[in-house]
Chain A
Amino acid sequence: DIQMTQSPSTLSASVGDRVTITCRASHIINSWLAWYQQKPGKAPKLLISKASKLESGVPSRFSGSGSGTEFTLNISSLQPDDFATYYCQQYNSYLLTFGGGTKVEIK
């Protein structure tokens, strides 16, 4: 199986901060990586697919980059609505796997 490692596991930030979350794959996954946002008590929401493709309706302050084994999710200016847990997911292999999650907390 392809293991996905996210860092940090928790991140404390303030409104307006630039935030970067990293996801590393144990094997090359090309650009087959997605990012999700999950708020407490809610289902995850797809933000980015194919490493950098912003889904419809997702604010442009979110961006994704990377290929191969290392990927990043950036939030250019953190907004109150962005405090949530973020997950990466690889879909290069048919055994799909998620990262452990990064909780973005209010500083």
Chain B
Amino acid sequence: EVELVESGGTLVQPGRSLRLSCAASGFSFEDYAMHWVRQAPGKGLEWVSGITWNSGNIAYADSVKGRFTISRDNAKNSLYLQMNSLRAEDTALYYCVKGLMGNNINDAFDIWGQGTMVPVSS
């Protein structure tokens, strides 16, 4: 069964850092670009960041560029998001998602995790 399981979400104060993890199983993780997508409470979907199979191509939304860092470990079938200088507006459910077609960042998303919640508040 194809599965993505996020972890690491917790209440964090503004200005602090947090690292999210995503464990993938049931597919050849190294063959696909991976992404983080977030959803603020009661709001729509926002793409955060994407990374190709060998980390050779990485992209970020303008809202997180310079503060967030995406990375992956293909040996561990894992995706990460290091979030620094967190702000109240980063409060959201963070989804780990798999690219549909393969190794392009320009892609749709066919597999989603259940998400990990990150509330940013003092």
Stretch at the interface among B19-27, B44-52, B74-82: B44-52
Q: Give CA–CA (A1, B63) in the complex, Å.
A: 12
Contacts of B107 in A (CB 8 A): 91, 96
Q: Give the residue name and chain of the B residue nearest to A92 (CB).
A: B106
A interface, over-half SS: loop
Contact of A44 with B112 in the complex, beta carbons under 8 Å: yes
Interface residues in A35-66 (C-beta closer than 8 Å to B): 36, 38, 43-46, 49-50, 55
- Chain A residues close to B by CB (< 8 Å): 1, 32, 34, 36, 38, 43-46, 49-50, 55, 87, 89, 91-101
A-B contacts, 8 listed (Cβ < 8 Å): A1-B62, A43-B114, A43-B115, A44-B45, A55-B110, A89-B109, A93-B106, A99-B44
